A and B are shown apart, each in its own frame.
Chain A
Amino acid sequence: MTLLSIRDLRTQFMTEGGLVRAVDGISLSVGAGETVAVVGESGCGKSVTALSILRLIASPPGRIAGGTIEFEGLDLLSMPEKAMRRIRGKKIAMVFQEPQTSLHPVFTVGFQVAEPLLLHEKISRRAGRARAIELLRRVGIADPESRVDDYPHQLSGGMKQRAMIAMALACKPSLLIADEPTTALDVTVQSQILALLKDLQRDLGMSVLLITHDLGIVAEVADRVAVMYAGRIVETADVRALFASPRHPYTVGLFDSLPRVGEIRARLRAIPGQVPDPAAFPEGCRFHPRCPLAIDRCRSEVPLLREISPGHASACHRAEEVKR
């Protein structure tokens, strides 16, 4: 069953350098209970996609220029802002990369965790505090009875991220959007947080849209993957199929760029060139200037995302020839 369905989403920003087509016609769906990872490098549009779903694009300079986003049968983009506020934080919650800037410094952790409940469920402050303690315990914060009165600066980075997750889960959302939730954390804390997210997802039956640049994390937690490059989805597949037989030269390039376990001091097959500037994406296939398979057709004709095998789609004119 499809929970979230994005069709031909276009999000643009007006900047001094001209119109930036940050997200340029992407389609993506998330099923109930499913974890979908959106993976890509800086400027590919993955975070803008997440913010577009929640209609958190600042306007101006940004605007959602086209497409539809359906969630539980409702069209989020045509919904009045007041109705949207009942979705945000209640039905769809979000966890950001930087817990230090996402928590408000002058309110206690307990208040911030309880805030969505006070807002959406209109419970009393006393009940809110009790629920906050419960939630903090559920996300693995030791001694939640005293931590509930702490201010964010009294918590470590890992604990702040746990508190953010507690806040996101307060209203038992059906979709959690996690934007690089562990990027600012140490590797041992990262593994704790990823394990926590998986446990919670299983217990609550929630869907997760995970935004990340790390293919290791994708392999560990995702069911399905969408690879983004320069504002477009270039490949989408089941996680096993994507890792076993990628069908887009960019995906192959990403895998080849990773140092392999057990391969000491071997040369990496890096992708040549630069990550493109969103204000000046190349014509045709946006990956063509860096692509080893590029032909004339790639320079002029935009390749559409097409199914190569059931559930596996690639936006490459030469997808059938791509090999890892």
Chain B
Amino acid sequence: MSGEPLLSVRGLKKHFLVRRGFLGASSARLRAVDGVSLSVREGETLGLVGESGCGKTTLGRAILRLLPPTAGTVRFRGRDLSELSGSELRAVRRRMQIVFQDPYGSLDPRMTAGSIVAEGLAIHRIGSRSERRARADALLERVGIPASHAGRHPHEFSGGQRQRIGIARALALDPEFIVCDEPVSALDVSIQAQILNLLADLQSERRLAYLFISHDLRVVEHVSERVAVMYLGRIVEEAGSKDLYDRPGHPYTRALLAAVPIPDPERKRVRIILPGEIPSPMNPPPGCPFHPRCSIARDRCRTEVPILRAPSPGRRVSCFFAEDYEGAPAAEG
């Protein structure tokens, strides 16, 4: 844990104005990402988990400036992305790539696999046409697609193969950081494992850093050194993967972990059933956003917003009463 992190995000917000009422007469503010700070070091994986609507996908896109942030800063190798000129930003962006969830929707159906992979090189005017083709072939081979298939179109590939092509595309510009947004969620279990292994191999070969976004807690535990948990646009807990899964500090993390079905019929089938559902990010509850569903909520939680604090080294948690859980195992109800 030394030196400047590769990526450093401070107070990032992304709000959307949502039109409501007759012909959009009024508007409401949807706080998709509401003040997130995190950092990712070279070659490491930070897992980002949360349920649908928690803002994890928006956060990934706001970091890459695929969506312009409402507030906050994103620094990559110490440089604030919002202060860069157009050409400087393009140069930094080569180092930051994304792999999308949907291997069906994220590849242009009219392009060949080879041209999809080479497109970024062409946009950045790197190499001659034949050099780009050779590089695309090599990348396809590396991700497990025979170069002889470079002339095929996306529909000629299976879901897993399409995700491999999406990964090859992300690698084309030699990135240092990749946002992996639910990269295996649309895939069958047997194919998921292949892609997770591929991502791990590429990471060690190329010293890649990943922000690995997923709703699947088992997958995130498997791939991440550190894990951040999001709820209603904010990070509610962040810790080393083992710490977080062994001793979750936030009641939401505990509930989330307890809800994951364990593939072992011999285990006692006891679990916390978290009541209710995620509130709308247009109208978040006052105080701690989790308090309406929290089993240990007290009066203070209903009025005062808990800040993300560090009760022990390497852990951040936004719960007034996280210490009540210290040392408690995760799985029991």
Binding site for B on A (CB under 8 A): 41-42, 156-159, 186-192, 194-195, 213-220, 222, 239-240, 243-244, 253-272, 274-275, 277, 290
**Complex contact A257–B255 (CB within 8 A):** no
Q: Which residue of A lies closest to B220 (CB)?
A: A259
**Complex contact A265–B200 (CB within 8 A):** yes
User: Contacts A188-B274, A216-B263: A270 and B190 contacting too (C-beta < 8 A)?
Assistant: yes
**Complex contact B158–A274 (CB within 8 A):** yes
Q: Which residue of B lies closest to A190 (CB)?
A: B259
Q: Does B140 contact A (CB under 8 A)?
A: no
CA gap between A218 and B196 in the complex, in Å: 23
Shortest CB distance A52–B (Å): 22
Of B30-38, B87-95, B265-273, the stretch lying at the interface with chain A is B265-273
**Complex contact A262–B245 (CB within 8 A):** yes
Q: Does B241 contact A (CB under 8 A)?
A: yes
19 A-B residue pairs with CB within 8 Å: A187-B259, A188-B274, A191-B258, A191-B259, A194-B261, A213-B189, A216-B218, A217-B261, A220-B269, A243-B263, A243-B266, A255-B263, A256-B193, A262-B221, A269-B193, A270-B193, A270-B196, A271-B190, A275-B158
**Complex contact B255–A219 (CB within 8 A):** no
CA gap between A195 and B270 in the complex, in Å: 10
**Complex contact B241–A257 (CB within 8 A):** no
Shortest CB distance A178–B (Å): 14
**Complex contact B261–A216 (CB within 8 A):** yes
**Complex contact B194–A270 (CB within 8 A):** yes
Known A220-B261, A257-B189, A259-B219; further 16 A-B contacts with Cβ < 8 A: A41-B190, A159-B277, A187-B217, A188-B259, A192-B273, A215-B189, A219-B265, A243-B263, A244-B266, A259-B221, A261-B245, A264-B225, A265-B225, A268-B197, A268-B222, A270-B193
Shortest CB distance B63–A (Å): 23
Q: Which residue of B lies closest to A216 (CB)?
A: B261
- Which residues of B237-294 are within 8 A (CB) of A? 241-242, 245, 255-256, 258-267, 269, 271, 273-275, 277-278
Q: Which residue of A lies closest to B278 (CB)?
A: A186
**Complex contact A191–B194 (CB within 8 A):** no
